[in-house]
């Protein structure tokens, strides 16, 4: 995991190709959440203070390999200008003669932003010639887009064949340090908290974690497949019948290895997702056939909090219920407070999980908040991330 980092490179007079993750939510031409822009500012400012110039690059949305004004990085350029207090012109493309000329003209302290990389299908195809064209724009490669590190795309993987040195940005380095601490040198006991809708999305992750953690907490929609595997009725709750046997196997392996698995002991049931009446908490043995479980109950929050009190390291991904609906948010918020109050070093990732700790007012008590979603999960599964593997190793 020891990778070359941007602060180990002499940047004076160098043009730096900085792959960022500016895949931010937009409302028309307005950025509605600039968290990912703010996260990369330390690297941008480090390069500029070091006497370098910047060619910024990112994707935005899914324009399907062709220009689409809905996915232009224009709003990002405007927000960057406001944040940096200096011009950040948006170039008309990310490759081509005009772009090459503008890149060659950069002087120390200059910044330009390339137009959406995914306007070209070659980006997602990890195309060699496209990567060479991108590499020709700069002298140094820096990747600060950990959220896209699980993608073998031209600006993430192939470009590093032609642009050296290839270093991690400051954000990437922090991500790798925090996530490596979980598995390479965790303070134990190490507990994982998993939620979200489907077992099928996280079965590989659960299997991988069984070899590494000292305890598991499982909530959210995925918990009902495990409850079914234990013989409980789940009413109309989310269930993946074809994963029940796999869930049973996970529970048996955990039991044989002495790894405690905490599942909900009560759930909040309702007639449907939009219900505002008829909501109540019931024990897991009492879920009515005609109702669905949409959140964990107060007794489950208490049980989970008690288990996590013993942890020294916690990794959490996924909400405990249909968190985006206010009547079913209490369980996730309760777990957020439990993680924050545990005293453990905690690492969280995923949009709903981040929203939960922010809504609960405990974000400042979390050890590390990852900006990544898919890359965060794939790292926890033990997969090789192309965007990390492509970077130079530290000396």
Write out the catalytic residue numbers.
36, 198, 351, 374
Percent helix / strand / coil, the chain, rounded to 5: 40, 15, 45
In order, the DSSP letters of 82-149 are: HHHTS--PBPS-SSSHHHHHHHHT--TT-EEE---GGGSHHHHTT-HHHHHHHHTT-SEEEE--GGGT
The alpha carbon dihedral of 69, 71, 73, 78 has a sign of positive
Taking CA 377 as the corner, what is the angle to CA 374 and CA 379, rounded to the nearest 5 degrees? Answer: 105
**In 3D, which of 236, 196, 243 has the Cα closest to residue 220?**
196
Edge to edge, the sheet with strand 266-270 lists 280-283, 266-270, 292-296
Distances in Å between the Cα of 312 and the Cα atoms of 1, 158, 187, 347 are 22, 39, 5, 12
Angle between helices 170-184 and 35-49 (to 10 degrees): 110
How many angstroms separate the CA atoms of 269 and 3, rounded? Answer: 48
365 HSE (CA, 13 A, CB side): 16
Q: Nearest-CA neighbor of 191 among 218, 171, 157?
A: 218
- Exposure string (b/e) for 66-94, b if CB count within 10 Å is 16 or more? eeeeebbbbbbbebbbeebeeebebbeeb
φ/ψ (deg, to 5) at 214: -105, -5
């Amino acid at each position: 995991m020891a990778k070359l980092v941007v602060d180990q490179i002499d940047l004076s007079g160098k043009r730096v190709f900085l792959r960022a993750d500016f895949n931010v939510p937009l409302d028309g031409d307005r950025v509605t959440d600039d968290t990912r822009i703010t996260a990369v500012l330390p690297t941008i400012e480090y390069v500029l203070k070091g006497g370098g110039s910047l060619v910024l690059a990112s994707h935005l949305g899914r324009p399907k390999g062709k220009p689409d004004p809905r996915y232009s990085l224009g709003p990002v350029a405007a927000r960057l200008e406001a944040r940096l207090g200096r011009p950040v012109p948006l170039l008309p493309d990310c490759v081509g003669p005009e772009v090459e000329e503008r890149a060659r003209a950069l002087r120390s302290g200059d910044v330009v932003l390339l137009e959406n990389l995914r306007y070209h299908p070659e980006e997602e195809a990890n195309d060699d010639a496209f990567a060479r064209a991108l590499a020709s724009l700069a002298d140094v490669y820096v990747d600060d887009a950990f959220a896209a590190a699980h993608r073998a795309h031209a600006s993430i993987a192939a470009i590093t064949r032609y642009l050296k040195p290839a270093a991690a940005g400051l954000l990437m380095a922090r991500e790798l340090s925090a996530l490596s601490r979980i598995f390479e040198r965790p303070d134990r006991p190490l507990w994982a908290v998993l939620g979200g809708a489907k077992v099928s999305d996280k079965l590989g992750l659960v299997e991988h974690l069984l070899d590494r953690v000292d305890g598991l907490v499982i909530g959210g929609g995925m918990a009902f497949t495990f409850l079914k595997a234990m013989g409980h009725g789940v009413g109309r709750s989310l269930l993946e019948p074809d994963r029940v046997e796999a869930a049973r196997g996970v529970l048996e392996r955990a039991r044989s290895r002495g790894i405690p698995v905490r599942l909900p002991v009560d759930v909040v049931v309702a007639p449907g997702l939009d219900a505002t009446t008829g909501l109540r908490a019931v024990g897991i043995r009492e879920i009515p056939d005609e109702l669905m479980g949409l959140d964990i109950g107060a007794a489950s929050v208490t049980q989970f909090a008690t288990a996590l009190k013993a942890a020294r390291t916690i990794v959490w991904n996924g909400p405990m219920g249909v968190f985006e609906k206010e009547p079913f948010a209490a369980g996730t918020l309760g777990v957020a407070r439990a993680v924050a109050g545990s005293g453990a070093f905690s690492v969280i990732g995923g949009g709903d999980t981040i929203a939960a700790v922010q809504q609960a007012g405990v974000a400042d008590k979390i050890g590390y908040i990852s900006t990544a979603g898919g890359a965060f999960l794939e790292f926890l599964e033990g997969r090789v991330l192309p965007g990390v593997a492509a970077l130079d190793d530290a000396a």
